[in-house]
């Protein structure tokens, strides 16, 4: 029997995605936060819950090598402009904008993961009554949090003596996102609790 994702894409099992009988948790499946969010967004869109997409990074292609037509290879490119945040869209009539970051740090979220123009962009979204937040994964703990941009802005712009946000503060002020199969990261249920 063939399994398909809600989008109609065929599921293909690989040895890397098989969960052994001794480890039945969803953790450590080798998926990145971005992959989890992209699959979640496909599920949300296919079920009509929201429209949220990953923003493409604007790139200017400078040079392409054409050894043969079917094997074109970009050999030189540069970023046209700094990107803002990773994802945006609409949910329940509200503009949603967020950055997704993964860290291997066990005790804090380092600021060097976020650029100034991204932090300023989230502030601008909040000023215009949009919903802005970060989705932060602590990969060593296999925990993913939704962290409102207002909390992040306070740490980023007003705490000049720090270079990171302590994990304890993210646990206190953030919201642990439930993990499952479909959707993989149910961040809409977390948005419902916080913003609606």
As annotated, the binding site for Mg(2+) includes 84, 86, 99, 118
- For the annotated binding site, the residues are 84, 86, 99, 118
b/e map 160-196, b = 16+ CB within 10 Å:
eeeebbebebbeebbbebebeeebbbbbbebbeeeee
CA-to-CA distance for 40 and 34, rounded, in angstroms? 10
- State how far the alpha carbon of 56 is from the alpha carbons of 53, 64, 80, 128, 132, in Å: 9, 20, 12, 23, 18
CB count within 10 Å of CB 119 equals: 20
Q: Report whether 97 contacts 85 (CB < 8 A).
A: yes
CB count within 10 Å of CB 118 equals: 19
3-state secondary structure of 2: coil
């Amino acid at each position: 029997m063939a399994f398909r994702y809600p989008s109609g894409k065929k599921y293909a099992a690989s040895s890397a995605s098989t969960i052994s009988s001794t480890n039945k948790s969803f953790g450590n499946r080798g998926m990145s936060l971005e992959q989890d969010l992209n699959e979640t967004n496909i599920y949300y869109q296919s079920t009509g819950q929201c429209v949220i997409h990953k923003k493409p990074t604007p790139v200017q292609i400078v040079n392409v090598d054409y050894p043969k037509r079917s094997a074109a290879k970009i050999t030189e490119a540069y970023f046209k402009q700094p990107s803002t945040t990773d994802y945006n869209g609409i949910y329940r009539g509200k503009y949603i904008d967020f950055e997704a970051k993964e860290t291997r740090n066990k005790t804090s979220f380092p600021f060097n993961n976020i650029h100034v123009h991204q932090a300023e962009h989230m502030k601008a979204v909040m000023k215009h009554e949009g919903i802005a937040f970060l989705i932060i994964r602590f990969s060593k703990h296999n925990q993913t949090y939704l962290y409102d941009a207002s909390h992040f802005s306070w740490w980023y712009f007003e705490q000049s003596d720090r270079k990171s946000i302590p994990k304890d503060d993210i646990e206190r002020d953030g919201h642990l996102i439930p993990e499952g199969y479909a959707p993989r990261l149910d961040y809409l249920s977390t948005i419902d609790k916080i913003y609606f």
